Structure 1
């Protein structure tokens, strides 16, 4: 679905943050992205989400050359990519239900056409009894599950998760990981950026390791 060939990225005139990155993310695949803090994991995810353009190299996504994707096409392609950010990015004045439904509301869909899907998804992530509360009332783990639900509401073909278990206890981290594994079994490709070695050891999955701006891949 996504292929990077000899991709490099730098900010302004500074040194390259990422160098000669070559990577193929197949459909239905599951991989961890790891490496020291500040090594570029979030930057790589932003490239995959198309919120950054590479300084050099080729990115192909869903068969399209990144350099040839127009401004009008970009939102349509991004709808096929779900993203879970480190800081959740929930809107405090909207309920859990409203936060998860927001991408569909922005597209102009009528609530009657998606209400059952949102309710079912919130139940699936274990928030069926928290859908009408505001984010400040939610625990860190509940906010994380709400963020995952929002990323999944448009049924993306790939999910990018940036440290999805970074702010929760080990028991909840395992629960979140099981959700992502189940999602992968249902057909969604998953990329999890994490520094948690114990979490990665729970799954037999490909590991992408960033260090010094370069990527090593361990199948």
Structure 2
């Protein structure tokens, strides 16, 4: 499902952030992406989401070389991916409920088909009383939970999460990780970037360890 072959990436004329990255992940797998701050975890996720192209090497996703995709095919492929950004990227002119339901609208589903699912998920992540609130009035933790709910609502084939528990308390962090685990049991491949080794130990999944621009699979 995911294959990196001799992937490297540099910004402008600087040093390579990633170099000679090679790994292969099967469909339905669950991995943490670990490494020190600045190691390139966000960069690797952006390569998977196709918002960056490798300087050299190839990234294969769903059996396709992402560098060769036409804009229309890239857009279709992204619809198969749920992503949680560190900066949340919620739309300020939409309510929390509307933000979470947006992926379903993009897929052409009608509100009556998903109203109950969106409402139930918002309650589960502790936002049942914030459905009609707009992002500017949400706290950082509330925005984080809304971004996670938006990423998982469509049951994507691949979920990418960049530090998804960084703005929530430990109890909510464990609750959100259980949500990711359950989604994985339903068939979604999951990659979670985090620096929280205690949380990784609690859930015991293997990890992609990113050090000095290269990746090793641990566990």
TM-score after normalising by structure 2: 0.92
Runs of 5+ unmatched residues, structure 1: none
Contact 2:155 2:183 in 1 (8 A): no
TM-score after normalising by structure 1: 0.92
Q: Could you say which residue in structure 2 is the equivalent of 1:82?
A: 82
Distance change (3 Å), C-alpha of 1:113 and 1:172: closer
Contact 1:59 1:65 in 2 (8 A): yes
Displacement of 1:108 in angstroms is 5.5
Measured in 2, the distance between the counterparts of 1:141 and 1:130 equals 12
Measured in 1, the distance between the counterparts of 2:170 and 2:120 equals 26
Measured in 2, the distance between the counterparts of 1:124 and 1:186 equals 18
State the secondary structure of the residue aligned to 2:127: coil
> How big is each residue's C-alpha offset from its partner over 1:21-53, in whole Å with a ceiling of 9 and x where there is no partner?
012221111111111111100000000111111
Q: Could you say which residue in structure 1 is the equivalent of 2:145?
A: 145
Runs of 5+ unmatched residues, structure 2: none
Q: Is 1:200 aligned with 2:200? A: yes
Equivalent pairs, count: 219
Q: Could you say which residue in structure 2 is the equivalent of 1:182?
A: 182
Q: Could you say which residue in structure 2 is the equivalent of 1:41?
A: 41
Q: What is the alpha-carbon root mean square deviation over aligned residues?
A: 1.8
Displacement of 1:59 in angstroms is 1.3
State the secondary structure of the residue aligned to 1:172: helix
> How big is each residue's C-alpha offset from its partner over 1:160-206, in whole Å with a ceiling of 9 and x where there is no partner?
00001112222221122121112212221111101111111111211
> How big is each residue's C-alpha offset from its partner over 1:72-131, in whole Å with a ceiling of 9 and x where there is no partner?
101110011110011211223321101112234455654334333322432443433332
Tell me which stretches of 4 or more aligned residues in structure 1 moved more than 6 Å: none
Structure 1 window deviating more from structure 2 (139-148 vs 111-120): it is 111-120
Q: Could you say which residue in structure 1 is the equivalent of 2:62?
A: 62
